[in-house]
A and B are shown apart, each in its own frame.
Chain A
Amino acid sequence: MTTKQYVCIVCPMSCSIELTDDSGVLTVKGNTCKRGEEYAKNEYTDPKRMITTTVGLRGSRLRCLPVISRKAVPKKLLRDCMKQLYATVVDAPVRQGDVIVANILGTGVDIIAARSITL
Chain B
Amino acid sequence: MSDRERDDHTGIETTGHEWDGIKELDNPLPRWWLWIFYGCIAFAVGYWILMPAWPGLHGYTPGVLKQSARADVVKELKALQIQRGQGEAMLASASLQQIEADPAMQAHALAIGQSVFGDNCASCHGAGGGGAKGYPNLRDDVWLWGGSLEEIEHTLRVGVRSGHADTRMSQMPAFGRDGLLQGAQIADLTEYVVSLSGRPADPAAVARATPLFADNCAACHMPTGVGSREFGAPNLTDREWLNASDRASITSQIQNGRNGVMPTWESRFSPGVIKALAVYIHVNAGGGEPSVAKVETPAP
Pair from one complex: no
